[in-house]
Copies of this chain bind each other. A is one copy, B any other.
């Protein structure tokens, strides 16, 4: 049961999810990826893609050009996860209204 936690820590990570979602449409290079995931810092983007790469969810392809170009893309494994990520994001989009309501209701009451 703890291997689930191991992977959930990775997969359930907000940045990972958003990066995967961003790569849904197709490969992106570093800067574009950063644009597609608003709020992510350079550090976190680098760490996140590295993790995802180590887990075999994304590929990193560096082109020996000037200027340098690096493209990140989902692997088939990554794509199989993407379906779930989409469901999750859709769910959030559908229900975040209700959630905000509830939050307002139960707001930090002394």
| Contact in complex: A14, B18 (CB < 8 Å) | no
Write out the residue numbers on chain B whose beta carbons fall within 8 Å of the beta carbon of A91: 11, 80-81, 84
Report which of B7, B17, B18 forms a contact with A96, defined as CB distance below 8 A.
B7
Contacts of A12 in B (CB 8 A): 12-14, 17, 88
Q: Which of A26-34, A49-57, A66-74 contacts B (4 or more CB under 8 A)?
A: A49-57
**A2 located at the interface, meaning its Cβ lies under 8 Å from any Cβ of chain B in the complex:** yes
Establish whether residues B5 and A14, one from each chain, have CB atoms under 8 Å apart when the complex forms.
Answer: yes
Residues B5 and A9 in contact, CB atoms below 8 Å apart: no
User: Is there contact, CB below 8 Å, between A102 and B54?
Assistant: yes
Contact of A87 among B8, B53, B84, B99 (CB under 8 A): B84
* A92-B53 in contact given A17-B12, A84-B87 (Cβ < 8 Å): no
Known: A11-B91, A77-B95. 4 other contacts (CB 8 A): A4-B92, A6-B96, A53-B106, A54-B106
Which 3 residue pairs across A and B have the least CB separation, nearest first?
Answer: A56-B102, A54-B106, A7-B92
